[in-house]
């Protein structure tokens, strides 16, 4: 594979509760190695049917607000036809339609080009899956 494309898989432990996990530092560390100061694109992809990637502010309550909003939009109750797993698990399978399983972000001079308060986050509402894979891919 050429130097123009580099990829790596992260393993992220999400535990047994709903989580928003900030991946920004992991993305930056990957780009320090992979981008070599080049411009390009970073793609962040979670290959799971019950998780997503969001670019949001963290640490000021927005991550908790996102989980609260998802509870309003996708209640963890018995309304879901997809019904295996913990109560309300069917909603976890709808999550990627609202929080997509990927984000593609600009890289300028080897650095992730985010706004002041933006972070790259894994959103995981599936309490039955305690470990996630996240693929980081740089094209530049």
Task: For residues 78-88, give the mean pLDDT.
Answer: 85
* 103-115 per-position pLDDT tens digit: 999 999 999 999 9
Q: What is the pTM of this model?
A: 0.93
Residue 59 has what pLDDT?
87
12 touches 132 (CB < 8 A): yes
36 touches 139 (CB < 8 A): no
* 37-70 per-position pLDDT tens digit: 999 999 999 999 999 999 999 989 999 999 999 9
**Residue 101 structural domain:** 5-139
Say how many domains are in the chain.
Answer: 1
> Lowest-pLDDT range, 1-5, 27-31, 32-36, 95-99?
1-5
Task: For residues 110-139, give the mean pLDDT.
Answer: 96
Residue 53 has what pLDDT?
98
CA distance 130 to 127: 7
Residue 1 has what pLDDT?
43
Task: State the CATH number of the domain containing residue 90.
Answer: 2.60.120.460
Residue 55 has what pLDDT?
98
Long-range contacts of 7-11 (CB under 8 A, 24+ apart): 7/135, 7/136, 7/137, 7/138, 8/34, 8/135, 8/136, 9/133, 9/134, 9/135, 9/136, 10/133, 10/134, 10/135, 10/136, 11/131, 11/132, 11/133
Instruction: With a cut of 80, say whether residue 83 has pLDDT above it.
Output: no
């Amino acid at each position: 594979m050429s130097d123009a494309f580099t990829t790596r898989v992260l393993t992220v432990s999400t535990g047994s509760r709903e989580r928003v996990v900030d991946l920004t530092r992991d993305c930056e560390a990957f780009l320090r190695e992979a981008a070599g100061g080049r411009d390009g694109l970073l793609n962040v992809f979670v290959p799971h049917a019950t998780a997503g990637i969001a670019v949001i502010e963290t640490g000021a309550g927005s991550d908790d607000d996102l989980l609260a909003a998802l509870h309003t939009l996708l209640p963890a109750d018995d309304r879901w036809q997809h019904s295996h797993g913990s109560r309300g698990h069917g909603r976890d399978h709808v999550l990627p339609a609202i929080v997509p399983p990927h984000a593609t972000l600009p890289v300028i001079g080897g650095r992730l080009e985010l706004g002041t308060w933006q972070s790259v986050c894994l959103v995981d509402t599936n309490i039955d899956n305690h470990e996630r894979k996240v693929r980081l891919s740089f094209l530049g």
